[in-house]
Amino acid sequence: MSETTALSELQIKRRELENELASLSQKENSLENDLRALEEKIIDQLKEEIKAKKSVLSSLESRKSDLEKKLSELQGKPAGSQKAEEQPAQQKENDTELTVVAYQPEQIQETEQSTKKDDKRSWVF
């Protein structure tokens, strides 16, 4: 009887292991399916982002084209009409007040030194 008991215990152990293997295989299949579904979702999301980016680029290209056309139209205008538009801007630039002050020799040296430093900078008027 001990042999039959040992044999039956081995058969039980084998069934348990077979069940565990089947369970692990089922879990593996489930995980593979989950991975596949997630990859498909990521791909779909990336496609949507690409589509949105292409739409934005198309809009920007269209706007750029419109602005380039407008610029070429403005450049194609007669010279007199452009000058009339530029005059108010030039008028503002010319509205600078100058004050003349007498310098002492020490002030002239200080000014020359600071001017040398300023020469390294770029000034926009």
pLDDT tens sequence across 65-118: 999 999 999 998 755 555 555 555 555 555 555 555 554 555 555 555 555 555
Q: pLDDT per residue over 38-53, tens digit each?
A: 999 999 999 999 999 9
- The reply to whether 35 falls in a domain is yes
- The reply to whether 28 falls in a domain is yes
- The reply to whether 124 falls in a domain is no
The reported pTM is 0.47
- The reply to whether 42 falls in a domain is yes
The domain tally of the chain equals 1
Give the list of residues 6+ apart from residue 93 with CB closer than 8 angstroms, or none. 125
Give ∠ CA 40-41-44 in degrees, rounded to 5. 85
- The reply to whether 26 falls in a domain is yes
- The reply to whether 33 falls in a domain is yes
The residue segments making up the domain with residue 77 are: 11-92
